[in-house]
Chains A and B, each alone.
Chain A
Amino acid sequence: MPLPSVIFASSFVPPEWIEAHGLRPSRVAPRAAGAVEREGLCPFAGAFAAAADGPDVAAAVFTTTCDQMRRAAEIGGDGGRAERFVMHVPSTWQTPAAHRLYREELGRLGRFLVRLGGHGPAPGELAACMERREAMRDEVLARRPRLTSRAHGDLAMRFHETGVLPPASDTVPASGGSPLMLLGGPMRREDLGLFDTIDRSGGCVAVDGTESGEREWPRRFDRRRMGGDPAGELADAYFGHIPAVFRRPDSGLFDWLAAALRATPVRGIVVVTHPWCDAWRAEVPRIRDASPVPVLALDLAGAGASAGEGSTRVEAFLEALR
């Protein structure tokens, strides 16, 4: 029987850590259908809160990466079916104390996982998980040129949710077309329709800078440091390097944007935001200022980005880029 999973939505929760504690990590792309809906509630946070009560969920890890997500942990109150853990991911990052706090929060999460039925990582276990996951991340990226944007989006999502990759033969021809960067908030399952729209409209996703994409992957692990202090290396690779929107200051996000645009020339940027997401909505004007290429700001509507108007706007954007 498969282990019940520990689900999370933030890229600051290392799946390697959960795996090394003997539990099954699953970074979910929650479904818009069935999400908790409330006036003012971010639909992604509402969808994750609903996912937390899904079948086979042993526990859900919520993070403080935004206030909406932090508070979504209380939806359903104490009556939530699965255990809920709120992990403080510091917003500040320029002090050693912030790094230490993140590491301590990993420790607190670890103790929670043990109370949940897991175990402390055996010697070498964490490092092995780190190596395995890193190789799979490399593989996910390597397959992009051979896949349509949608197929690659599906692949990445499946990898995050299950920690496994389908065989490489399972490929769909690449779409080609105008290369785009996606940037912005996390994607729900239905939002993957955006990839279809892009494929259909003569574009392709060359860089996925959404919270679900590779912008929020950890840096490559340092094998030497991994040998001595794998937990420290894990913490640094995640906390020390992911250029997330909630960091204060958020200069890392704009450094990443400049570097990514240099490394992978794109014709345009599509910034996706969820309704009520202050963190991303406040950044859109700054992204426009910082971008040398046209920017389309797209609301991920309640039913998903592919719905109606969003689809038309993406088509028009790509047409203008030709």
Chain B
Amino acid sequence: MNAPPRRLTLDDWDARYGDLRRAGLREPSYGGPLRRHVADGDHRLLRLQFDNSAAALRLWNFLLTEEDRLHAARAEGRRIVGAMKDLGTVPVMAYSLPGVVAFYPDGAWWTPCVMEMSDELLAVADRMGIDETFCPVRAMLGAFVTRRHFPIPDLLVCSAGAVCDDFSAIAQRLNGLGHPILWWEAPHRSEPEPDEEAVPLPGGGRAPRAQVAFLESELRRVGEALGRLAGTDLDDARLADGIQRANGIRRRLRELREACFTARVAPLPALELLIAEMLAIHFCSDLEEAGAVLDDLLDEVRRRVAAGTGFGGADAVRVYWVNPVADLRMMNRLEAAGGRLCGTEFLFSHALDGIPEDVPCWEALARAAAADPMAGPARDRAARIARDAAALGAEAVIVSRIPGASHCATEGGVMADAVRAAAGIPAVEIEVPPLSDAVAAQVSTRMEALFETARARRGCGT
């Protein structure tokens, strides 16, 4: 069952799946061959290259069956929360309550890619005046209008304030279409004033205590609404337990990242690592199962690290990747161009950092929310990226520019400059559309040029 690591096409996976079954593979209820998802419209799978492990199969199946899980939850009478924008905070509260499932409708971001535009979500958004000057999250609007994807949540909760314009405008549009939204304020994280009391944040930053206290009061307000939905209070004991369980997922992900980033040879392809990280934000609608999926992946990765096997060889250029990619295929392209991941920052580092367990639970969650890299200045985000990139031995940094995203107009430059200045690492910004095939050659050339520069610096002592 434990074959040496190899990249597989979907066709290869058909054969591999048969082999695994014959070898006695036991799968969870959502298991099955990957190809069946193509019949559901996930055409991008036909063009991706996958990891060949049973753990990766489980990961993909878990990811691609999320909508089924949500519909099943609705059928079973569980309450569904649509958490929006904050990426990692509200679901911790929701999953602390019995009978509540939370997910991010924001995840429709990837649907145009995964379905290769066949579902026309972007076309629906276009018709509503939300055109390509907005980021791919506009697909979410299409998903709400067509109702062909996730069930419409019982409660929508959206952070406002220090958030991107794209999401804020689109969520407001949704609101205007008759979907009530509970808005909560995420303030811009400011530098503490001279003499102002500050508190440490997960991930190394700090924020004025008053701001964290404000966030705590906002989260308590959200918690009350969630409690009303669940028919029972979100009390301290429940939240503390929920934080512990969320931290279990975060811990596994940190272990997975560390194992992958520090191994001599990349034990897991970039694509599967990206997918795994996504589990941090809402656990793919099943917290316990997300843990089991990650445990399998961790086992596989540890095995490979111990055996010294993996992808791309030891001389692959170590790349720190910033921002999620609208087209999953870019992760394959990174490796085809001679790179490997040695660090990532996909906009939600605050969902990977452990939530403090040594301070009262509401304050702990507020601190985690305050650490959101998008809530503070780009230079804070850049500083952490530069620090991490240097610590992880990155040889190149790629900031993937998200088409239309309000933050990308300015922050890409700030971040690239910061890593160049602080760590002397070459950095480029590359725009990745939801389907990048038309620009594939150009993007690959830019990556290859970057990697060439990085290789040339080896041994120069720079």
Contacts and interface: CB of A to CB of B under 8 A. Distances in A.
Contacts of A189: none
A282 B169 contact: yes
A101 B217 CA distance: 11
A67 B164 contact: yes
Interface in B348-380: 377-379
B406 interface: yes
Contacts of A277: 165
A278 B129 contact: no
Nearest to A101: B214
Contact of B193 (A40, A73, A111): A111
Among A111, A249, A282, A283, the one with the most B-chain Cβ atoms within 10 Å of its Cβ is: A282
A228 B218 CA distance: 29
Given A67-B406, A68-B409, A91-B160, A276 B133 contact: yes
A64 interface: yes
A15 B148 CA distance: 50
A209 B190 CA distance: 31
Interface in A63-107: 64, 66-68, 70-75, 77-78, 86, 88, 90-92, 94-95, 97-98, 101, 104
Interface string B228-267: 0000000000000000000000000000000000000000
A70 B172 contact: no
B184 A92 contact: yes
Contacts of B181: 248-249
A176 B316 CA distance: 71
Interface stretch (B285-293, B304-312, B410-418, B436-444): B410-418
A322 interface: no
A108 B211 CA distance: 12
Contacts of B129: 281-282, 284-285
A64 B161 contact: yes
Given A278-B133, A282-B172, A66 B193 contact: no
Given A38-B409, A71-B411, A101-B214, A248 B172 contact: yes
Nearest to B214: A101
Given A38-B410, A88-B161, A71 B187 contact: no
B406 A104 contact: no
B160 A92 contact: yes
Contacts of A71: 378, 406-407, 409-411
B161 A74 contact: no
A40 B218 contact: no
Interface in A227-274: 246, 248-250
Among A67, A249, A285, the one with the most B-chain Cβ atoms within 10 Å of its Cβ is: A67
B165 A66 contact: yes
Interface residues of B, number: 50
A298 to B, nearest CB: 14
Among B133, B181, B188, B409, the one with the most A-chain Cβ atoms within 10 Å of its Cβ is: B409
Given A97-B217, A279-B169, A282-B130, A92 B183 contact: yes
Interface in B138-166: 158, 160-166
A90 B163 contact: no
A68 B406 contact: yes
A282 B128 CA distance: 9
B422 to A, nearest CB: 13
A93 B121 CA distance: 32
Contacts of B406: 40, 66-68, 71, 276, 278
A249 B414 contact: no
A275 interface: yes
A56 B413 CA distance: 28
Contacts of B21: none
Contacts of B172: 248-250, 282-283
Contacts of B185: 90-92, 95, 97-98, 101
B176 to A, nearest CB: 5
B314 interface: no
B168 A248 contact: yes
Contacts of B173: 282, 286
Given A88-B187, A90-B187, 8 more contacts: A40-B405, A40-B409, A68-B406, A78-B379, A92-B161, A108-B193, A111-B193, A283-B169
5 nearest A-B residue pairs (beta carbon): A40-B409, A282-B169, A278-B165, A91-B160, A41-B409
8 contacts: A74-B414, A86-B190, A97-B185, A101-B214, A248-B181, A278-B166, A278-B406, A286-B173
